[in-house]
Amino acid sequence: MDHFSLVDGAMHCEGVPLSVIAEAVGTPVYVYSTATLKRHARVFREGLAGAGDIHLAYAIKANPNLAVLRVMADAGYGADVVSGGELARALAAGIPASDVVFSGVGKTVAELTTALEAGLGQFNLELEEEGVVLAGLAAARGLVANATLRVNPDVDAGTHAKISTGKRENKFGVPIDQAPAIFGRLAGLPGLALRGVAIHIGSQLSDLAPLEAAYRRVGELVAHLRGLGFPIERVDLGGGLGVPYREGDVLPSPAEYGAMVARATKDWGVRLMFEPGRVIAGNAGVLLTKVIWVKPGAINPYVIVDAAMNDLARPAMYDAWHDFRAVHPTGDRMIANIAGPVCESGDTFAMGRDIDAVKSGDLAIFRTAGAYGATMASTYNSRALVPEVLVDGDRFAVVADRILPETILAAERIPEWLTPGD
């Protein structure tokens, strides 16, 4: 459920007509709903009510806007970060470092050091060498780094190949069968407190079965590690719960997910950690755009909108579906292709789709764009970096400016050559 709906024939975000935002900020622009973010934060937490001691770390990569992070901080969420940049955002939003988990397969020594000195809550180690280096950095500073070992359970998550992470050929985690040996070598290192294991098998998961299979494998590993004498206190179960992108899509609810978690982990006796991203932010945002032209096409007309693949990359990258709605629907329909202005055929949001009829100058939205939307934007074709607006009830605020092409151009220069020795 979200808070984007028609009121008197006009699409609103909560109490604000989207046409008012388009007028004030221009298009394209991302619009997020505070009420939806809060609702998802609450529903996800409530779904896990039967799962015992839990820690929730919002996966910042899904939507790292500072204002969104502040909403999540106020909802009592920690953060899952994957870079020094994301860590800085979490801290700037007021999330305590001790509630931050650091994931990622390529954390640099500089990033590990910064996180360590900030008092980070947990490092999810991706390989043995990372653990050795982290232990050394911590010991040299008289610190102890809390860590888990991320394991790769070799489970097919049944999602798009580009967002699958738990198959043995993927770059993530250590092979689960090698985990006990690696655990044994890292557990004794001064500077490192290896407290458990972590997994994350993929994103936009529409079926709980692969997740449950992965959790069962982790359960066996936990029992095995305990048998070897390692005290296992934490298991990080990652993120991945999918959201409906198309009307009629049926996805497992947070309550169903929570029931599965409770079932799969009931004897573990650990603190369970979660890294939800999309399920929190996905349906809390739309990309608001304006129709530039309706261009006759050989088969169907092309609705050319002012948003493009640089603003919302998911259709071009993952063939993703985002529902398209007119902001002032007339009730008429049309079969059309929807594309942006970028000079690539891949800059196409939909082909041959049955949509609200629109004409030049009309406003429209791509729904379910709150996660992996603005954060994946680029300036390709020397387009502006798309701005973001947060709505709360009947008020709205610009929470990220449109970065104009001239600002980006100003950071570039025609070379004034230097030669060594100058």
Q: Which residues are tagged catalytic?
A: 343
* Span 321-360, contacts to ligand LLP by CB under 6 A: none
Q: By CB under 6 A, is residue 80 in contact with ligand LLP?
A: yes
Minimum gap (Å) between residue 373 Cβ and ligand LLP? 8
CB nearer to ligand LLP: give 200 or 234.
Answer: 200
Whether 372 has a binding-site annotation, put simply, is: yes
Assess 314 for contact with ligand LLP (CB under 6 A).
yes
The residues near 421 (Cβ < 8 Å, ≥ 6 apart) are none
Which of 269-281 are b and which e, b meaning 16 or more Cβ less than 10 Å from the residue's Cβ? ebebbbbbbbbbb
Q: Is 278 annotated as a binding residue?
A: yes
What is the enclosing helix (H) or strand (E) of 211? helix 208-227
Q: How far apart are CB 204 and ligand LLP at their closest, in Å?
A: 5
User: CB-wise, 245 or 396, nearer to ligand LLP?
Assistant: 245
**Nearer to ligand LLP among residue 62 and residue 400 (C-beta):** 62
Q: Which is nearer to ligand LLP, 245 or 324 (CB)?
A: 245
Q: Which of 239, 252, 254, 340 binds ligand LLP (CB under 6 A)?
A: 239
Of 191 and 254, nearer to ligand LLP (C-beta) is 254
DSSP conformation letters of 35-96 = HHHHHHHHHHHHHTGGG-SEEEEEEGGG---HHHHHHHHHTT-EEEESSHHHHHHHHHTT--
**How far apart are CB 179 and ligand LLP at their closest, in Å?**
17
Which of 64, 210, 240, 254: binder of ligand LLP (CB under 6 A)?
240
Q: In angstroms, give the least distance from the CB of 379 to ligand LLP.
A: 18
Task: Please name the residues in contact with 274: beta carbons below 8 A apart, sequence gap of 6 or more.
Answer: 44, 48, 54, 55, 56, 57, 236, 237, 238, 239
163 lies in the site for ligand LLP, by CB under 6 A = yes
Q: Can you count the helices (H) and strands (E) in the chain?
A: 12, 21
Give least dist CB 357 to ligand LLP, A.
Answer: 29
- Helix locations, 265-368, DSSP H: 278-281, 314-318
Asked if residue 405 has a cis previous peptide bond (ω within 30° of 0), the answer is no
Which residues are CB-contacts of 129 (< 8 A; sequence separation ≥ 6)?
A: none
Which DSSP string do the residues of 125-160 spell out, in sequence order? E-SHHHHHHHHHHHHHTT--EEEEEEEE------S-
Q: Footprint of ligand LLP on residues 354-373 (CB under 6 A)?
A: 372
**203 binds ligand LLP per the rule CB under 6 A:** yes
Looking at residues 82 to 111 of the shown chain, list those that interact with ligand LLP (rule: CB under 6 A): 103
Identify residues 171-200 at the interface with ligand LLP (CB under 6 A): 200
How many chain residues bind ligand LLP (CB under 6 A)? 21
Report the SS3 class of residue 274: strand
Which strands form 4-7's sheet, in the order they lie side by side? 4-7, 10-13, 16-17
Provide the binding-site residues for ligand LLP, judged by CB under 6 A.
59, 61-62, 80, 103, 163, 200, 203-204, 238-241, 275-279, 314, 318, 372
Residues tagged in the binding site annotation for pyridoxal 5'-phosphate = 240, 275-278, 372
